[in-house]
Amino acid sequence: MDAGTLTRPDSTRDESAETALLSVKNLKKYFPVGDGLFGRKNLRVHAVDGVSFDLKKGEILGLVGESGCGKSTTGRLILRLLEPTSGEIRFMDENIFEAGARRMRELRREMQIIFQDPYASLNPRMTIGATLEEPLIIHRIGARDERRARVRQLLEKVGLDPEVVNRYPHEFSGGQRQRIGVARALALNPKLIVADEPVSSLDVSIQAQVINLLEDIQEEYALSMIFIAHDLNVVRHISDRVAVMYLGRIVELAQAPDLYRQPLHPYTEALLTAIPIPDPKIKRNRILLEGDLPSPVNLPPGCRFYSRCPKRIPDCLKEDPPLVQIRPGHWAACILAK
Amino acid sequence: MNPAVLSIKNLKTQFHTAEGVVRAVDGIDLTVRSGRVLGVVGESGSGKSVTALSVMRLIPQPPGKIVSGQVWFNGADLMTLKENEMQAIRGKKIAMIFQEPMTSLNPVFTVGNQISEMLRLHLNMNRKDARIRAIELLDLVGIPSAERRVDDYPHQLSGGMRQRVMIAMAISCNPEIVFADEPTTALDVTIQAQILVLLEELRNRLGMSLVLISHDLGVIAEVAHDVAIMYAGRIVEEAATEELFSHPLHPYTQGLLASLPRFDKAGGRRDRLQAIPGAVPKMTEELPGCKFTPRCGVAVPRCGREEPPLKEVRPGHRVRCWVAFGDTP
């Protein structure tokens, strides 16, 4: 690998936008709970329960939803950090769940993750230089000098002084640590990055720095990105398309402007009106949802949003509505959507 | 203007750490007015939580120490009260709601038990009356089938329900002031909306004052009547909410508002956010001038030398900034 340049010559943003880099098909992940204890057998949390979507080359897809909706589990399945209960993920037209250990290691070069808590995901006893060099060593990339040069270049790329290579994670602020997390994800020149709540533990003033950085690197390397977050403002800002998840399902999927301007699912609508806006002059009609999320163990029959839906009708209990295309590129899982 | 129920004067709280003295709160003046919601905004380390803990005299000592200041409440300076006198106020007259209900509720007692304890301690209720009142309180904060839930342990409740229990405990003795420290930060946005509505309803009904500590300018804009912005242990700007959001004067406040992505104002994806460069100063460092100078885009030479006072520059609007006072580069 050429350690001097990070540019990927074969990809330009425009021509690549049409092809799907990643294709998720009917993905399911159930976790067993209370297995056998007190005789409660076969109880399972339906963490991800039939998720399908495509990610185009160079696209940022936002995955939003509240805690327990399955967004992080979906992210981990995409990197095969978890094995699915069923379903398929095709990455560059290859089913990753069929790849053997050796092939999987090759594939992992192309897909990287950025975690929420950069402190917990950095080894406190390794210098920043060693942390960033490690993936290059594992994948046998470059000679020692080349690797070191690459590390310095990565640090510069994410806005850190290359002189920090000998420092340890605790010597950095939260924002700087997340920059290191971004540098590590970039080290192997991946095609896909899964960013799991990458800015939610950062202060407001620092959050904007990291969002700008993520947008810059996405553009420069024509990266594809799954951006997982609960903050709908951040997701709107960074994403090309947005998928809203509820209890293990995608309930709405559309281009970001369409989804925020004309939400079709009552859950999306309620989520949007629940976001506090930092302008006291804006008064809104808030849709207040009743109650909490139902248990993902005992899923209610019919639509999973029924128990909290302000628009529910008896027909909603008949079947779990599939995600269907209501308008061009705008999908919703609601029998009332039109 | 509503009368003051609590006035903080020149409060300074420090922590002695291995790396030096951390000036967590470094000379704060704040007034809580009757029936109003005061929003205190700041990022981590700005001193907003330490301010609340200092007022409640809950600073662990050592390493912490309230080194100076007065907190006037009902004609007494809370800082000079004996511990047993403070106990009669804490939880009864001034209550607190914390961010993480799971860590502030005792996991081995039922929620009913924990609310009853407050009532028996502060209001001398007997066991039976306290239990009946606990059920009423749970009902008041919107917990369904309260007579059943009263016997639940904290882990049996969802995050939103636990925060409702915390609120029930906080209002159990009809306090005059409630300090709510990031009460909705750990909650999902639809649950946050429920809790904010509940707090507003209860405040109207019980006539208490609320101090809402938050990093979330959206929550503050929605709930607070007055806002104080904190940076590095100081208040840098203070005004009525509408005034502050429509005429932010401190470069830090302006920077915070500009750095927020907003779905209701979003343009194309390639709109860059206006980030505030750098990071908050290490609190052990002694900077001579304005603490925001190293990150400030409009600083003049004086800013690095001399700390500006908090001064009224528009009616009811105070700011701590030489540039806002008219110094030009």
Q: Which two tokens stand for residue A76?
A: 């981990």
Looking at the complex, does the CB of residue A268 fall below 8 Å from at least one CB of chain B?
A: no
Among A residues 95-154, those touching chain B with beta carbons less than 8 Å apart: none
Spatial distance between the Cα atoms of B30 and B237, rounded to a whole number of angstroms:
11
Q: In this predicted structure, what is the pLDDT of residue B329?
A: 60
Closest CA to A332 of A218, A244, A261: A244
What is the C-alpha separation between A251 and A70, in angstroms, rounded?
A: 12
Residue B264 has pLDDT above 90, yes or no: no
Give chain B's mean pLDDT: 92
* pLDDT mean over A281-285: 86
Residue B103, domain member (yes or no): no
Strands ordered across the beta sheet of A111-114: A111-114, A192-196, A224-229, A60-64, A241-246, A249-255, A330-332, A324-327
CA of B273 vs chain A CAs: smallest distance (Å):
6
What are phi and psi for residue A56, nearest 5 degrees?
-85, 160
Burial of B97 (0-12, 13-18, 19+ CB in 10 A): buried
CB atoms within 10 A of CB A327: 13
Tell me the chain B residues in contact with residue A66 when contact means C-beta distances shorter than 8 Å.
Answer: 188-191
Q: How does the average pLDDT of chain A come out, rounded? A: 89
| Distance separating alpha carbons of residues B99 and A252, to the nearest angstrom | 31
**What are φ and ψ of residue B79, in 5° steps?**
-70, -20
Interchain contact, A274 vs B192, CB within 8 Å: yes
pLDDT for res B270 = 61
B54, pLDDT greater than 90: yes
Residue B77 lies in a domain: yes
Evaluate if residue A140 carries a pLDDT over 60. Answer: yes
Closest CA to A147 of A166, A164, A134: A134
End-to-end CA distance of chain A: give it in Å, rounded: 51
Q: Do B255 and A232 lie within an 8 Å CB cutoff?
A: no
Say whether residue B47 is in contact with chain A using an 8 A CB cutoff.
no
Contact A266, A235 (CB under 8 A): no
Kindly tell me if the per-residue pLDDT of A8 is higher than 60: no
| Residue B75 placed within a domain | yes
Peptide bond into B261 cis (omega under 30): no
**Residue B103 pLDDT grade (very low, low, confident, very high; cuts 50, 70, 90):** confident
With CB atoms and an 8 Å threshold, state whether B189 touches A288.
Answer: no
Which residues numbered 87-116 in B keep a CB inside 8 Å of some CB on A? none
> Does residue A7 register a pLDDT over 50?
no
Rounded mean pLDDT, A217-243: 94
Report CB contact under 8 Å: A276, B263.
no
Check if the beta carbon of residue A200 is closer than 8 Å to that of residue A230.
Answer: yes
* pLDDT confidence bin for A2, thresholds 50/70/90: very low
Nearest CB neighbour to B262, from listed A270, A277, A280: A277
Mean pLDDT across A296-319: 91
- B163: contact with A, CB 8 A cutoff: no
Q: Which residues of B touch A200 (CB under 8 A)?
A: none
* Pairwise CA distance, residues A11 & A186, whole Å: 16
Which string of DSSP letters, residue by residue, matches B141-194?
A: TT-TTHHHHTT--GGGS-HHHHHHHHHHHHHTT--SEEEEESTTTTS-HHHHHH
B197 at A interface, C-beta within 8 A: yes
Write the pLDDT tens digit of every residue in B7-27. Answer: 999 999 999 988 889 999 999
| pLDDT for res B268 | 60
Q: Which of B161, B242, B275 sits opposite A205 (nearest CB)?
A: B275
CB pairs A-B closer than 8 Å: 135
Q: How far apart are the first and last CA of chain B?
A: 37
Domain count, chain B: 1
For residue B290, is it within any domain?
Answer: yes
- Mean pLDDT over A132-138 rounds to 94
The distance of B115 to chain A (nearest Cα, Å) reads 22
Q: How far apart are CA B310 and CA A100, in angstroms?
A: 65
Residue of A nearest to B41 (CA): A204
Whether the complex's predicted ipTM surpasses the cut of 0.85: yes
Q: Which of B197, B199, B244, B273 should we substitute to test contact with A (largest number of A Cβ atoms within 10 Å)?
A: B273
Residue B184 included in any domain:
yes
Report the DSSP pairing between strands B226-231 and B37-41: parallel
With respect to residue B233, please indicate whether it lies within any of the assigned structural domains.
yes
CB contact under 8 A, A208 and B220: no
| CB neighbours of residue B288 within 10 Å | 11
Q: Range of B74's domain?
A: 4-93+173-325
How many residues belong to chain B?
A: 329
Beta bridge partners of A215: none
Omega before B62 cis (within 30°)?
Answer: yes
Mean pLDDT value of segment B182-189? 88
Give mean pLDDT, residues B267-271. Answer: 65
- CA–CA distance, B39 with A274 (Å, rounded to integer): 19
Q: Are B71 and B22 in contact (CB under 8 A)?
A: no
SS3 category, A173: coil
CATH value at residue B229:
3.40.50.300
DSSP secondary structure of B197-230: HHHHHHHHHHT-EEEEEES-HHHHHHH-SEEEEE
- Whether residue A23 has pLDDT greater than 80: yes
Distance CA B324, CA B311 (A): 10
**For residue A249, what pLDDT is reported?**
96
- Domain-embedded: residue B246: yes
Phi, psi of A278 (to 5 degrees): -75, 55
User: Is the CB of B266 inside 8 Å of chain A's CB atoms?
Assistant: yes
pLDDT digits (tens, 9 = 90+) for A109-132: 999 999 887 778 889 999 999 999
Q: Is the pLDDT of residue A3 over 50?
A: no
Return the SS3 of B276.
coil
Identify the CA nearest to B28 among candidates B4, B10, B47. B10
**CA-closest candidate to residue B116, choices B139, B133, B102:** B133
B277 within domain boundaries? yes
Query: In this complex, is the C-beta atom of B233 within 8 Å of any C-beta atom belonging to chain A?
Result: no
Asked if A27 reaches chain B (Cβ–Cβ under 8 Å), the answer is no
Q: Residue B271 pLDDT more than 80?
A: no
Under a CB-based contact definition with an 8 Å cutoff, are residues A56 and A18 in contact?
yes
CB-based contact, B195 to chain A, within 8 Å = no
* Strands in chain A per DSSP E: 20-33, 43-56, 60-64, 86-91, 94-95, 111-114, 192-196, 224-229, 241-246, 249-255, 324-327, 330-332
Of B245, B270, B273, the CB nearest to A278: B245
